[in-house]
Amino acid sequence: MDKQFIFVDLEVNSREEVLTLLGDRLYKLGYVKKGFTESVIEREKHFPTGLPAAPYGIAIPHTDGDEVIQSKLVFASLKHPVQFMLMGDSEQAIQVSLVMMMALETGHGQIQMLQKIMGVFQNEAFVHQLKQTKKIDQIRKILDLS
């Protein structure tokens, strides 16, 4: 994962703000189309991606591949948690401290990538390290999803 796609202690006040910042990074660097960020925000309203991982809540926002030019992941650890809604229950809120935005081209292994990401996020020690570390190189090693 390239350093330019890792945010450490990102200061945001809402789910929409973090989604906008991450989506805008992808757009400005040419990985997604202009409508990507809005599509992610809209999808999150109907199909939330918040998950209770120990010891911090996580979110894996994404949208359909038609808004993606080239597949890329963006990771953020948040200085303060923000509210996402729980995957599978859009009525239940969860406080999220780690966000992994997926921008994957249609047919480019979305399920396989999600499984790899979940493998990292199901490891409590990795989740703790991702939240606590301020070193991008250490985050890159933990998130080696290739």
Tens place of pLDDT per residue across the chain (146 aa)? 889 999 999 999 999 999 999 999 999 999 999 999 999 999 999 999 999 988 899 999 998 889 999 999 999 999 999 999 999 988 899 999 999 999 998 765 777 787 888 888 888 989 999 999 999 999 998 888 64
CA distance 39 to 59: 16
Residue listed under structure tokens 């997604």: 32
pLDDT of amino acid 78: 97
Handedness of CA 134, 60, 141, 55 (dihedral sign): positive
pLDDT of amino acid 118: 83
Residues in CB range of 103: below 8 A, 6 or more apart: 26, 31, 32, 36, 62, 67, 68, 71, 72, 73, 74
CA distance 134 to 58: 18
pLDDT of amino acid 146: 47
CA distance 62 to 19: 10
Burial of 140 per CB tally in 10 Å (0-12, 13-18, 19+): middle
Query: What is the 8-class DSSP label of residue 123?
Result: -
